Amino acid sequence: MVEAVSPVVRGRRLAAALRGLRLASGRTIEEVAVHLECSAAKISRIENGLVNVRIQDARELLDLYGVQSADREDLLDLVRQAKGRGWWHPYADLMADGFDRVIGFEAEATTIRMLDARLIPGLLQTRQYATALMSSRRDVSAATIERLVRLRMERQSVLHRADAPWFHLLLDEAALRRRIGPPSVMRHQYSRLIDEAGTAALTLQVLPLTAEPHQAPGYSFTIFGFGDPADPEVVFEERLEGTSFEESVETVGRYRVAFEHAASCALDPAASLDFLAEIAEGCR
């Protein structure tokens, strides 16, 4: 079972805290770098969560910023948690750059809002669908494909734990009708979607091809939300050669507006289930 504590989220929280402490102290990145006898680039990477912080560096930073008592111990605990290995570490060699952050966000998210115009999302794919999809790749071995499928299946346990995130999925009709594998694979996949949509954890809305235009036509993205105010929302977009993340309040806000507008154009959950059942019935 996937743990609900993520070193990725802890590292992001630590980076934001250290950046906030530096700004509150009135020091520049260059001044902090001189104190630690390192490059300004290293401090920048630390504050952007791109590298783990050594415990000794963290202590020196907290000394410099005058952080004492309980706050100090809480931050040092974050340093230790951020250096941990997530359950996905054995698959690190398979992941595109940055995708470990996606899995880390999934592991601790309390809300997942996703708009997908291309495929059934990985968190809801059946093993057969995932295997048929990944078997189209010509750059990896059959053994690697099996490991990729296994990773995808293990990711899905996040939706079935006791404190599962609320998953709001806007799924374009094109993604439902795109044939991946033989009809038997698609029938099984439709059945899985219908079953999952019957649970409290998933709100599924279909965007039919006849829907009114919305603000993000043709785009796919995910907005992760977290239970702790210290962890603001983050947007993820997957690309052919890696991943893209947006974290500024203004940019995330624009994605939220686009998502809500798309949701208003989609079928409601009950109508979406009926629509999905019709597609499944016609899959021969």
* 58: CB partners within 8 A, 6+ apart: 18, 75, 76, 79
CA 14 vs CA 74, 128, 131, 148, 209: distances in Å: 10, 39, 37, 30, 43
Query: 165 in the Ramachandran plot: left (φ > 0), alpha (ψ -120 to 50) or beta?
Result: beta
Tokens of 191: 């059945």
Cβ proximity of 137 and 128 under 8 Å: no
The DSSP bridge partners found for residue 203 are: 168
The alpha carbon of residue 110 and the mean position of all alpha carbons in its chain are separated, in whole angstroms, by 11
Task: Pick one of 1.20.910.10, 1.10.240.10, 1.10.260.40, 1.10.1060.10 as the CATH number of 7-82.
Answer: 1.10.260.40
For residue 2, what pLDDT is reported?
56
For residue 283, what pLDDT is reported?
81
Residue 115, exposed/middle/buried by CB under 10 A (0-12, 13-18, 19+)? buried
C-alpha neighbours within 13 Å on the C-beta side of residue 25: 18
Spatial separation of the C-alpha atoms in residues 224 and 160, rounded to whole Å:
17
Every domain of the chain and the residues it spans: 7-82, 93-281
For residue 3, what pLDDT is reported?
59
Tokens of 20: 């906030």
Cβ proximity of 113 and 149 under 8 Å: no
Rg over CA atoms, the chain: 21
For residue 124, what pLDDT is reported?
97
For residue 74, what pLDDT is reported?
92
For residue 90, what pLDDT is reported?
94
What is the model's pTM? 0.91
Task: Pick one of 3.30.1490, 3.30.870, 2.60.120, 3.30.450 as the CATH number of 93-281.
Answer: 3.30.870
pLDDT digits (tens, 9 = 90+) for 101-115: 999 999 999 999 999
pLDDT less than 70: residues of the chain? 1-4, 241
| Tokens 């629509």 -> residue | 275
Residue 136, exposed/middle/buried by CB under 10 A (0-12, 13-18, 19+)? exposed
